[in-house]
Amino acid sequence: MSEEPVDVLIIGAGASGAALAWSLAETRMNILCLEQGDWVKSGDYPSNQTDWELRRLGDFGFSPNDRKLASDYPVNDSESPIAASMYNGVGGSTILFAAHFPRLHPSDFRVRTLDGVGSDWPLDYRSLAPWYDLNERMTGVSGLEGDPAYPQDPPKRPPLPPLPLGQLGETLARGFNRLGWHWWPSDSAIISEDYEGRGACINAGTCITGCAQGAKSSSDVTYWPIALRSGVRIRTRARVREITLGSNGLADGVIYYDENDREQRQKAHVVVVACNGIGTPRLLLNSKSKEFPDGLANRSGLVGKNLMFHPYAMATGVFDQPLEGYKGAIGCCIMSQEFYETDARRDFVRGYSFEILRGLGPMFTALMGMGWGAVPWGKDHHGAYADLFDRTAGMVVIGEDLPEECNSITLDPDLKDANGIPAPKINYRLGENSRKLMAHGVARAREVLEASGARKVIEEPLLRVAGWHLMGTARMGRDPKTSVVNEWGRCHDVKNLFLIDGSIFPTAGAVNPTNTIQALALHVADTMKKNLANLFE
């Protein structure tokens, strides 16, 4: 393969890599993206089949350890109560995400100053707001202006009207109203009307196994088509083993395995890593050299440290009446940020969001009912199942995790991927603040469900499968001693190496991170464009 260097080499074609590639395309630079997975075609998605739910247990499952596809790498998550969920392919984890697309709050950027925990970000809400706006237009976000949980100056104006609340959403909205608590239609990366050549959402309810309709705004259908038309190239089935360092102390390219498992080199003037909060530290830790014996760009010792998930808890209400919950976007209905901000009367700092989940399909009703002990085998099976199917509504608590150095990604000494590259290992435990916060959230969720008319509430204090949001493992900051990258994603230690995924979050907030990840990628790309003449100074 080519020894000819490209101008910009992006590793990873997920949410952040796509946004940055699109933004940089206007520079006419020679831009190449290496992606270890492949394109997913509309016809490949499970929703084209009647047994679509079954494939959540197989090739469209959340965990790479369950899917075991050629494009996946294993993750040792045996030392973590939360398992890693991700997808490897063009579009990355947006292929399977639920598309809940909120912004961080202004306070999320000033956690140390306001609450004495974590770290402040080296940028603020106002400076990121234009990139949120741009990302929401590019993505096609559906939502409603005027949410009192967010500043109105600058205003947050989703370009499309909200998705249907449905009978389920309105039932829970009335419950929130009875309690006098905040709720709002979700900001959703799902188009409620035809938009930019894509057809509107058809309420199929299959978002988390991918969207055959193309209405869910995974980055393979938003940024990538435009970036490719502008000259950016993607090389799929290309798994990067390590980033190499030149004699001048700058990254000079990568070594990767191609689709035939042959070792290849690709030279580059600028290297951008966009592999998510697990894949990025894994790659840096695997890129050892004489100058960086502990991993590339790791003089701070913080690569892989401070892993943050969003711990998820769930309360499921069982109602007497049908809710038509199998219709509509599963994770995009209504949300609440009543308990988002720190309240000194509580025994924890920071807070959480509620995200309302639609009901379950026929198969997962049975499996979840089995797990809850609510659907027995034998003669009572059909009656118990009928009491549950289409009569459930879920509330998930998305808690803010605080950064702790003991929560980390390291290289597993034994586990390797199909190319022999050391696999990541998660060492994680739930902190005391998170425990208190989640317990508070589950208790409040019960109140909402009961106020909405639920006759029974089933509580799950921590969802193991919910490790979608991977943050903090190469944090952003101004001080090279306490951070890995600066305020525009450039590594302190290697001036032509940029990190742009969730790994650079100093703190996590309590909302789904993809909108912020992409807004940051656009901000980084813009800063790169403005500094092309002296990018490495």
Partner 1 sequence: MTELHPFSAHELDTLAAVLDQVIPPSADGRLPGAGFIAHGERFGTIVGLLPGLDLGLAGGLAACDEQARKRGAADYVALADAERLAVLNDVAAIDAGFVPSLMFLAYSTYYVEDRVIAGLDLEPRPPHPQGFAMPENDLGLLDPVRARGRLWRDA
Q: Interface residues for partner 1 in 119-148 (CB under 8 A)? A: 124-125, 144, 146, 148
Of the two residues 211 and 466, which places its CB atom closer to partner 1 in the complex? 211
Contact 281, 304 (CB under 8 A): yes
Of the two residues 119 and 276, which places its CB atom closer to partner 1 in the complex? 119
Work out how close the CB of 205 gets to partner 1 at its nearest, in angstroms, rounded to a whole number. Answer: 6
Candidate list 173, 190, 357, 426; residue touching partner 1; CB under 8 A: 173
Work out how close the CB of 369 gets to partner 1 at its nearest, in angstroms, rounded to a whole number. Answer: 8
Fill in the amino acid letter for 375: V
Work out how close the CB of 217 gets to partner 1 at its nearest, in angstroms, rounded to a whole number. Answer: 16
338 binds partner 1 (CB under 8 A): yes
Of the two residues 57 and 406, which places its CB atom closer to partner 1 in the complex? 57
332 binds partner 1 (CB under 8 A): no
373 binds partner 1 (CB under 8 A): no
Could you tell me the two tokens for 240?
């990067």
348 binds partner 1 (CB under 8 A): no
Q: Which residues of 200-224 are buried (b: 16+ CB within 10 A; e: fewer)?
A: bbebbbbbbbbbbbbbbbbbbbbbb
For residues 254 to 273, the per-residue mask of contacts with partner 1, x marking binding by CB under 8 A and - elsewhere, is --------------------
For residues 195 to 234, the per-residue mask of contacts with partner 1, x marking binding by CB under 8 A and - elsewhere, is ------xxxxxx-----xx---------------------
C-alpha to C-alpha distance for 234 and 227, rounded to whole angstroms: 10
C-alpha to C-alpha distance for 459 and 237, rounded to whole angstroms: 41
CA proximity to 477, closest of 191, 118, 207, 186? 118
Footprint of partner 1 on residues 56-85 (CB under 8 A)?
57-58
167 binds partner 1 (CB under 8 A): yes
Q: What is the three-class DSSP state of 115?
A: helix
Q: What is the three-class DSSP state of 462?
A: coil
Tokens 């703190």 correspond to what residue? 507
356 binds partner 1 (CB under 8 A): no
Candidate list 70, 363, 384, 535; residue touching partner 1; CB under 8 A: 363
Footprint of partner 1 on residues 41-60 (CB under 8 A)?
45, 47-54, 57-58
Q: How many residues bind partner 1 (CB under 8 A)?
A: 72
Candidate list 29, 69, 110, 225; residue touching partner 1; CB under 8 A: 110
Of the two residues 214 and 279, which places its CB atom closer to partner 1 in the complex? 214
Work out how close the CB of 106 gets to partner 1 at its nearest, in angstroms, rounded to a whole number. Answer: 4
C-alpha to C-alpha distance for 470 and 20, rounded to whole angstroms: 19
Work out how close the CB of 520 gets to partner 1 at its nearest, in angstroms, rounded to a whole number. Answer: 17
- CA torsion 192→198→199→202, rounded to 10°? -60
Could you tell me the two tokens for 110?
């000033």
The DSSP-derived string for 321-381 is: S---TTSS-TT-SEEE-TT-S--TTSSSSS-EEEEEE----HHHHHHHHHHHT-S-SSTTH
Candidate list 324, 447, 459, 526; residue touching partner 1; CB under 8 A: 324
Backbone angles phi, psi at 534, to 5 degrees: -135, 45
487 binds partner 1 (CB under 8 A): no
Backbone angles phi, psi at 514, to 5 degrees: -65, -40
